[in-house]
Chain A
Amino acid sequence: MLGAAIIVFRETLEAALLIGIIAAATRGLPARNRWLALGIAAGLGGSLAVAGLTEQIAEWADGVGQELFNAIVLGIAVVMLAWHNIWMSRHGREMAAQARSVGQRVREGSAELSAIATVIALAVLREGAETVLFLYGMASGGTLEGRSALLGGGLGLAGGIVVGSALYAGLVRIPIGRLFTITGGLLLLMASGMAGQMARNLIQGNLINTDSTPLWDTSSLLPMDSLTGSLLHILAGYEARPSATQAIFYAATFCIILTGMRLARPGTRVFR
C-alpha cells in the first residue's frame, strides 16, 4: 500500500504543482475556476482514454509510439505555456490594477484561459495515464493486494493535491503585482524543463539521431531520486545527466519565451 501511495504521489505531484502555479498565475481572470476545472476534467478523461489505448500507442512508429506521443503532448504544452507567459507580460499589470472593464477582460481572458486549460489537461493526462495503468495492473492482480493498492493510490493522490494546494496558498499571499512576476518565472522554467523532456523522449525513441552522452554528471552531487533533486526536476527541469540535445532544447525554449515576454511588455512597440 505504501509503495502504491508513493508512486501515485510522485505521478500526481508534477501536475498538482503545475496546477497550483497556474491557478495563482491566472488570479483575477473571470470564470477562471471553471476553466481550471474543465482542464482537470478533460485531463482525467484523457488519462483513461490514453491508458486504454496504451498498447495501440506503443505499437506506433515501430515500438516508439509512446515517445512520439509524449513528445507531441509536451510540445503543445510548451507552446501554450509560452503563449500564456507572453500574454501575461502584456496584460498582467492591467489585471493587477483592475484597469479594464469586465466585458473586455472576459473577451480577452477566455482565449488565454483556454490555452491554460489545455496545459492543465495535458499535464493531468500525461501523469494520469501512467497512474491509471499502474493501479489497473495492481488491482487486476489479487483482490486483497489490489484493494490496498487502490487505497494507497487514493492516499498518494490526496497527498499530491495537498502539496499543490499548499503551493497555491503560499503564492496567493504574495502581492498581486509581484505574484505575476514570480509565477511567470516559475512557468518559464517549467516550460523549458518540458522542452528538455520532449528532447529526451525524441532521443529515447531514436526519433532524432544524436549522441546521448551526458553533457555533465551531477548524480552524486544532487541525485534525481533525492527530494531536492526531484523537486528541482519538476519545477525547473533539473537533470543529473542531460544530453547536449536536451540542454539545447531547454536553453532555446528559455531564451525564446523570455525574449517574447520582453517584447510583449507594454511600452515596447513591436506587437502593436
Chain B
Amino acid sequence: MILRALLTSLLLVVSGLASAADVEVPLVIKEHRFTPEELRIPANRKVKLVIDNQDATPEEFESHTLNREKVIPGNSKGAVFIGPLKPGKYPFWGEFNQKTAQGVVIAE
C-alpha cells in the first residue's frame, strides 16, 4: 500500500513538471488593496495567479473557497495555482490587512 502510494505520487510529480502550460493571471497588491478586485478567469482550467506585492510589508493571500493560503513578502512576487474551477464567485482576502484587502475570483 505504501509502495503503491509512493509510486502514484511520484508519477503525479513527474506529470506535474511536464505540463507547465497553464493560464497566467496577474494580481497586484498595492497600499493593502488588490488590483483587480474582481479577477475574471476562465472556468474549468488550471490558472496560475502571479501575485505581485508592491507594498513594503508582507501579505497573506487567503481564501477558504479556493482552499489556498500563501504569504507574499514585501516587494516581491509569488505564484498560486488555482482551479480548475466551476463557474462562480470565490472571495479572497489579505489576512494581514483584512479591512482593505478584499477581492473575488470570478470563474466564467
Taking Cβ atoms with an 8 Å cutoff, the residues of A that contact B are 3, 7, 54-55, 58-59, 62-64, 66-67, 130, 133-134, 136-138, 140-141, 200, 203-214, 219, 223-225, 239-243, 245, 248, 252, 255-256
Contact = CB atoms under 8 A, between A and B. Distances in A.
B21 to A, nearest CB: 11
13 contacts: A7-B95, A54-B73, A63-B50, A134-B58, A134-B60, A140-B57, A200-B67, A204-B70, A204-B81, A212-B83, A241-B64, A245-B12, A252-B5
Contacts of A248: 5
Given A54-B73, A58-B78, A207-B16, A243 B57 contact: no
Contact of B58 (A133, A210, A219): A133
B58 A206 contact: no
Given A7-B96, A214-B67, A252 B79 contact: no
Contact of B16 (A66, A200, A208): A208
Contacts of B78: 58, 63-64, 66
Given A204-B80, A212-B67, 20 more contacts: A7-B95, A7-B96, A55-B73, A55-B76, A62-B79, A64-B78, A64-B79, A66-B78, A137-B96, A138-B57, A140-B57, A204-B70, A205-B79, A206-B16, A206-B46, A206-B81, A209-B16, A225-B64, A241-B64, A243-B67
Nearest to B12: A208
A241 B58 contact: no
Contacts of A252: 1, 5
Contacts of B96: 7, 134, 137-138
Contacts of A214: 67
A208 B13 CA distance: 5
Interface in B15-57: 15-16, 18-20, 22, 46, 48, 50, 56-57
Nearest to A6: B98
Chain B interface residue bracket vs A: 35 or more
B77 interface: yes
Contacts of B50: 63
Contacts of B18: 209
Given A3-B98, A205-B79, A137 B71 contact: no
Given A209-B19, A219-B64, A225-B64, A137 B57 contact: yes
Contact of A206 (B48, B65, B77): B48
B89 to A, nearest CB: 13
Nearest to A63: B79
B65 A219 contact: yes
Contact of B84 (A136, A140, A211): A211
A205 B16 CA distance: 10
B41 to A, nearest CB: 14
A114 B41 CA distance: 47
A263 B22 CA distance: 45
A255 B80 CA distance: 30
Given A207-B13, A209-B15, A219-B64, A133 B71 contact: yes
A137 B46 contact: no
Contacts of B67: 200, 212, 214, 239, 241-243
Nearest to B20: A206
Interface string B57-100: 11010001101101111101111111110100000000110110
Nearest to A243: B67
